[in-house]
């Protein structure tokens, strides 16, 4: 049983792990940001983190690993996501508890599945668990009393003009959407958290978010979606993970990360279409898939050097 | 060329392998049950088993493996499934023959693909072959003369009350659906077959089916679907496979299996939505995916002990 | 920097690699055929090949590998496919350049991912890159100004009669569709290219295409689709790859390839349905998946002998 300080550190790190950082102050700022975004969402996140952390203790995960927040963050994200997509119903609490337990198992399973390629699981356990729950929800009247959200993907309507507000809101919302929030000020607090974790993480997030906004604008994505961060949170995650964590800080690696940021932005649109007809969700799959592909490819390129 | 007794044992074991058991009397009871459900379906199953077994001989599979029914059961399931979904047309006979041949190849291919993680193929070859044939069928007028079954998933309508009949029919139909039959008495005969195979398999099936019925009811699944076994056959398969075959009989393993049973029930609803828009079928994918994830995760947890 | 002759050989081999052949005269004939089909499409293909080849040099791929055209062909196919599906807009040029860069990375990534099973990547990098771009396109007004192409799959209408023209057009179009062209004379030129590459490649293509036409007709596929080569280009690719390249020339291997040709024809219809609701494309996924499954299975069968 961890002491209160140790437990508190584990829980705030579960929030900080949304962008794979272990710095406890990053965690504090991310926790603060997401409670500012919605105190109810924060409570759901905390519930998920507590249950996932307890599950990790119960199944005998190494305590040092639990301390890093790697066991709690998928449960934490699951709680927030279920609150956002299903609303604060009693059944959502129960699903958060169940989902957080399964997150720990999914983390172990996916770790084993990607082990042959020395790939990290990233946020894949969260994507698997929440994706399954949300696709299943309309079949169960006590979980989702309304109609199914499944629909054929529709094309963006041309002719809508961008405003400056769209662009700078999008820049910050790309960061806040890492915690499933669309508020620009939440993104601003989280960006401070990233800089506190390390200058390079903050710079990577700034670059990733800016490239995503510019590319979405250049390709003609709908302004409202860009302003809400829809096309950029995966870019932020890719930039922080590849630019900050997994690759050495060299010019070729920075260019490589930039290509990955562009790829994940387009992939976000592709996966939005993919998940629409059956009511699944894109979540951070574009980040997961892009990072897996680019890390798997890296071993073939002598100029790209992986450090983690 | 096998003698008639050996061949008969291979064929009835192909039926018994629906729930991964090799006991020949389990096979006899499963065969009986599925002929009781529909003699035409039984004939299609037998045809699939004969063709798959002959294919296995032709490609030089070890005879001991063929004796266990592992080569025949996917062809057998394919025959029954094509009869159920396409009807007893002449083209269905030809597709059963072709599908049974491909099942043996798919079994070998998938065995190789999951080998790095020491995972069993379970019913995946059947799911792959039948899923592809059914998704393809509407493109071919001689295979499927009607309209496509593809449709967006719809939400369950609230307000329908459960009856006791729904619950106990569902309990047995969860078992009969392992052989794609919705008749409760077919499930009852198959349950006897499971107990004949071993007390623990019968108990696992009882527990898995009961949990699936209760969970579906608690979540608010449509009563008619629960009564038809739609939400529970994967739970029965997971319970028998993990609770009876792959994990040692300990309390932590039983709890672990229970979580897997709950997960596969929710995953069934998610995959029903996933397959709807393109006319694929859920089949026993939820069982396959859940068991793969939980067995892959098991290696990380010292308290979970795998025995097969 | 390669000399002009070496570069020209690399580029025409990028076209010849559409069916995995490295013979430079096959490449010349394929290049000719695709410029005959559409000079604009040829230009897009050339642009993709140039960019992909340059990218391969930039990231330090071994020059001998680049000489074989293996680095250029996915970019080349990507250029042609984006021209065919998106039209010759300025944005299509930019997407071809970006897509060709990503093809080289995807080639390396997928090579690593299938390495544990000793499988070749085949055309998978092309399928991944173009599939993602086309599914994403409707979200971006500057890429795709029209409505989304996503739609539920529809069943083939019965009652349409085949003509001889449908059959022989289909026979050649099955070959031309390897380069995304539906003109029978393009297929005829490419067939000459295959025979120039080696008698066995030409014979394999003839057999694969004929079986696909006959099977599609027997199953009742729509005549117009068969005449356009929709159901047969994967069969041609499977026949050339398995019958010509990867398996030794023996009778069991020929039968094995024949089964694979039939499987990929049915799988084409299944994947057409799979990709329809979200606006993805089948491309040569049926070839990739079928060849992977049959090569992975081959190791289990003593009578099937792999040579590459």
Average pLDDT, chain A: 95
Model confidence band, residue B248 (pLDDT cutoffs 50, 70, 90): very high
Strand partners for C186 = none
Ramachandran class of C27: left when φ > 0, alpha when ψ lies in -120 to 50, beta otherwise: alpha
Whether A90 contacts B90, CB under 8 Å:
no
Nearest CA in chain A to B116: A116
Partner C, chain A 217-256, Cβ-Cβ below 8 Å: 218-222
Cα C150 from Cα A51, distance rounded (Å) = 40
pLDDT at position A148: 85
Query: pLDDT (tens digit, 9 = 90+) per residue, B263-290?
Result: 999 999 999 999 999 999 999 999 999 9
Query: What are the phi and psi torsion angles at A282 (to 5°)?
Result: -70, -40
Q: For an interface test with A, which of B114, B263, B298 has the most A Cβ atoms less than 10 Å from its Cβ?
A: B263
pLDDT at position B147: 80
* Alpha carbon of A280: minimum distance to chain B alpha carbons (Å): 8
For residue B297, the chain A residues in CB contact (below 8 A) are 105-106, 108-109, 112
Cα A254 from Cα A257, distance rounded (Å) = 5
Which residue among B158, B219, B294 sits closest to A105, beta carbon to beta carbon? B294
For residue A219, the chain C residues in CB contact (below 8 A) are 91, 140, 142-143
DSSP letter for each residue of C138-183:
GG-TTT--S--------PPPTTPPP-HHHHHHHHHHHHHGGGT---
- The CB density around residue A73, as the number of other CB atoms within 10 Å, is 31
Whether C137 contacts C144, CB under 8 Å:
yes
Whether C211 contacts C242, CB under 8 Å:
no
DSSP letter for each residue of C44-93:
HHHHHHHHHHHHHHHTT--HHHHHTTTTTHHHHHHHHHHHHHH-S-HHHH
Q: Three-class SS of residue C115?
A: helix
Model confidence band, residue A3 (pLDDT cutoffs 50, 70, 90): confident
Domains of chain B from N-terminus onward: 4-139 (1.10.3430.10), 164-298 (1.10.3430.10)
Cα C14 from Cα A239, distance rounded (Å) = 33
Dig out the tokens for B37 from the structure: 């459900």
Model confidence band, residue A158 (pLDDT cutoffs 50, 70, 90): confident
Partner A, chain B 39-68, Cβ-Cβ below 8 Å: none
pLDDT at position B160: 78
CB contact under 8 A, C152 and B151: yes
Cα C307 from Cα C294, distance rounded (Å) = 14
Q: Considering Cα of C247, then C251, then C254, then C260, what sign does the dihedral take?
A: negative
Which residue among A110, A111, A132 sits closest to B266, beta carbon to beta carbon? A132
Query: pLDDT (tens digit, 9 = 90+) per residue, B159-206?
Result: 778 999 999 999 999 999 999 999 999 999 999 999 999 999 999 999
Segment (H or E) for B125? helix B124-136
Cα C49 from Cα C13, distance rounded (Å) = 9
Q: Is C52 exposed, middle or buried (0-12, 13-18, 19+ CB in 10 A)?
A: buried
CB contact under 8 A, C136 and A276: no
Cα A128 from Cα A136, distance rounded (Å) = 12
Cα A102 from Cα C190, distance rounded (Å) = 53
Q: In the predicted model, is pLDDT for residue B105 greater than 80? A: yes
Contact partners for chain B, using 3 or more CB pairs closer than 8 A, are A, C
Query: pLDDT (tens digit, 9 = 90+) per residue, B218-232?
Result: 999 999 999 999 999
Q: For an interface test with A, which of C112, C117, C145, C148 has the most A Cβ atoms less than 10 Å from its Cβ?
A: C112
CB contact under 8 A, B150 and C117: no
pLDDT at position C119: 97
Average pLDDT, chain C: 95
Q: Considering Cα of A282, then A284, then A287, then A289, what sign does the dihedral take?
A: negative
- The CB density around residue C116, as the number of other CB atoms within 10 Å, is 13
C86 touches chain A (CB under 8 A): no
Which residue in this structure is represented by tokens 């009607």?
A: B146
Question: For residue B264, which of B290, B236, B246, B284 has the smallest C-alpha distance?
Answer: B290
Q: For an interface test with B, which of C155, C224, C276 has the most B Cβ atoms less than 10 Å from its Cβ?
A: C155
CB contact under 8 A, A273 and C141: no
pLDDT at position B224: 95
Strand partners for C247 = C306
Which residue among A59, A113, A150 sits closest to B117, beta carbon to beta carbon? A113
Q: Is B293 exposed, middle or buried (0-12, 13-18, 19+ CB in 10 A)?
A: buried
Query: pLDDT (tens digit, 9 = 90+) per residue, C151-163?
Result: 999 898 887 789 9
pLDDT at position C308: 84
DSSP letter for each residue of B194-262:
HHHH-HHHHHHHHHHHHHHHHHHHHHT--HHHHHTTTTTHHHHHHIIIIIIIIB-S-HHHHHHHHHHHH
For residue C220, the chain B residues in CB contact (below 8 A) are 140-143
CB contact under 8 A, B132 and C276: no
Cα C278 from Cα C134, distance rounded (Å) = 10
C152 touches chain B (CB under 8 A): yes
Query: pLDDT (tens digit, 9 = 90+) per residue, A68-120?
Result: 999 999 999 999 999 999 999 999 999 999 999 999 999 999 999 999 999 99
For residue B278, the chain A residues in CB contact (below 8 A) are 277
Q: In the predicted model, is pLDDT for residue C106 greater than 90? A: yes
Q: In chain C, how long is the greatest CA-to-CA distance?
A: 59
* Alpha carbon of A262: minimum distance to chain C alpha carbons (Å): 9
C152 touches chain A (CB under 8 A): yes
C105 touches chain A (CB under 8 A): yes
Q: For an interface test with C, which of A293, A294, A299, A304 has the most C Cβ atoms less than 10 Å from its Cβ?
A: A293
A198 touches chain B (CB under 8 A): no
For residue C211, the chain B residues in CB contact (below 8 A) are none
Which residue among B159, B220, B262 sits closest to A140, beta carbon to beta carbon? B220
For the CA atoms of C280, C285, C290, C296, the dihedral, rounded to the nearest 10 degrees, stands at: -110
Average pLDDT, chain B: 95
Arithmetic mean of pLDDT, C109-127: 97
Cα B19 from Cα A255, distance rounded (Å) = 52
For residue A301, the chain C residues in CB contact (below 8 A) are 59-60, 108
Arithmetic mean of pLDDT, C72-85: 97
For residue A137, the chain B residues in CB contact (below 8 A) are 269
Give the single-character DSSP code of B158: T
B297 touches chain C (CB under 8 A): no
Cβ contacts below 8 Å, chain A against chain C, sum to 118
- pLDDT over 90, % of chain C: 90
Nearest CA in chain C to A301: C59
Which residue in this structure is represented by tokens 């709950």?
A: B262
* Alpha carbon of A85: minimum distance to chain B alpha carbons (Å): 15
B105 touches chain C (CB under 8 A): yes
Residues in chain B: 308
Whether C223 contacts C166, CB under 8 Å:
yes
Whether A105 contacts A119, CB under 8 Å:
no
Whether A202 contacts A191, CB under 8 Å:
yes
- pLDDT over 90, % of chain A: 90
A275 touches chain B (CB under 8 A): no
Question: For residue C52, which of C21, C73, C30 has the smallest C-alpha distance?
Answer: C73
Query: pLDDT (tens digit, 9 = 90+) per residue, B8-37?
Result: 999 999 999 999 999 999 999 999 999 999
Look up the ipTM and state it.
Answer: 0.95
Q: HSE on the CB side for B141, CA within 13 Å?
A: 12
Q: How far apart are the first and last CA of chain C?
A: 30
Which residue among A98, A109, A143 sits closest to B297, beta carbon to beta carbon? A109
Question: For residue C19, which of C267, C188, C234, C255 has the smallest C-alpha distance?
Answer: C234
Which residue among A61, A91, A139 sits closest to B272, beta carbon to beta carbon? A139
Question: For residue C207, which of C179, C256, C240 has the smallest C-alpha distance?
Answer: C240
* Alpha carbon of A141: minimum distance to chain B alpha carbons (Å): 5
C4 touches chain B (CB under 8 A): no
Helix spans in A38-183 (H)? 39-58, 63-67, 73-86, 90-114, 124-136, 164-176
Model confidence band, residue C1 (pLDDT cutoffs 50, 70, 90): low
Which residue among C109, C139, C277 sits closest to A269, beta carbon to beta carbon? C139
Cα A19 from Cα C105, distance rounded (Å) = 24
Cα B188 from Cα B80, distance rounded (Å) = 19
CB contact under 8 A, C105 and A293: yes
Residues in chain C: 308
Question: For residue A293, which of A263, A255, A249 has the smallest C-alpha distance?
Answer: A263
DSSP letter for each residue of B53-81:
HHHHHHTT--HHHHHTTTTTHHHHHHHHH
For the CA atoms of C155, C161, C162, C163, the dihedral, rounded to the nearest 10 degrees, stands at: -150
Cα C239 from Cα C255, distance rounded (Å) = 11
For the CA atoms of B2, B5, B8, B12, the dihedral, rounded to the nearest 10 degrees, stands at: -120
pLDDT at position A144: 87
pLDDT at position B157: 85
Which residue in this structure is represented by tokens 């001998």?
A: C64
For residue B152, the chain A residues in CB contact (below 8 A) are 148, 150-152, 277-278
Whether B243 contacts B290, CB under 8 Å:
no
A99 touches chain B (CB under 8 A): no
For residue A111, the chain B residues in CB contact (below 8 A) are 300
Query: pLDDT (tens digit, 9 = 90+) per residue, C286-298?
Result: 999 999 999 999 9
Cα C50 from Cα C64, distance rounded (Å) = 16
Cα B12 from Cα B16, distance rounded (Å) = 6
pLDDT at position C81: 98
Dig out the tokens for C299 from the structure: 């190791």
């Amino acid at each position: 049983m961890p002491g209160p300080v140790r437990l508190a550190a584990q829980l705030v790190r579960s929030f900080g792990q949304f962008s794979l950082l272990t710095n406890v102050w990053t965690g504090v700022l991310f926790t603060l940001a997401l409670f500012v975004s919605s105190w109810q969402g924060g409570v759901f996140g905390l519930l998920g983190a507590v249950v996932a952390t307890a599950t990790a203790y119960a199944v005998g995960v190494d305590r040092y690993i639990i301390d890093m927040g790697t066991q709690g963050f998928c449960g934490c994200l699951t709680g927030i996501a279920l609150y956002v997509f299903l609303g604060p119903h009693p059944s959502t609490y129960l699903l958060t508890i169940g989902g957080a337990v399964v997150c720990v198992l999914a983390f172990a399973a996916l770790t084993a599945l990607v082990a042959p390629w020395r790939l990290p699981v990233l946020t894949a356990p969260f994507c698997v668990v929440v994706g399954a729950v949300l696709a299943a929800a309309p079949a169960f009247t006590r979980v989702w009393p309304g109609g199914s959200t499944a629909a054929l993907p529709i094309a963006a309507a041309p002719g809508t003009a961008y405003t400056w507000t769209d662009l700078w809101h999008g820049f910050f919302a790309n960061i806040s959407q890492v915690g499933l929030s669309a508020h620009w000020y939440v993104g601003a607090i989280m960006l401070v958290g990233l800089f506190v974790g390390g200058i390079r993480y903050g710079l990577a997030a700034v670059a990733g978010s800016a490239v995503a906004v510019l590319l979405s604008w250049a390709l003609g994505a709908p302004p409202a979606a860009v302003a809400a961060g829809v096309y950029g949170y995966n870019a932020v995650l890719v930039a922080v993970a590849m630019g900050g964590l997994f690759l050495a800080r060299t010019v070729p690696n920075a260019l490589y990360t930039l290509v990955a940021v562009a790829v994940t932005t387009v992939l976000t649109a592709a996966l939005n279409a993919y998940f629409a007809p059956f009511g699944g969700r894109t979540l951070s799959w574009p980040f997961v898939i892009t990072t897996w592909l680019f890390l798997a490819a890296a071993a073939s390129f002598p100029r790209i050097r992986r450090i983690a």
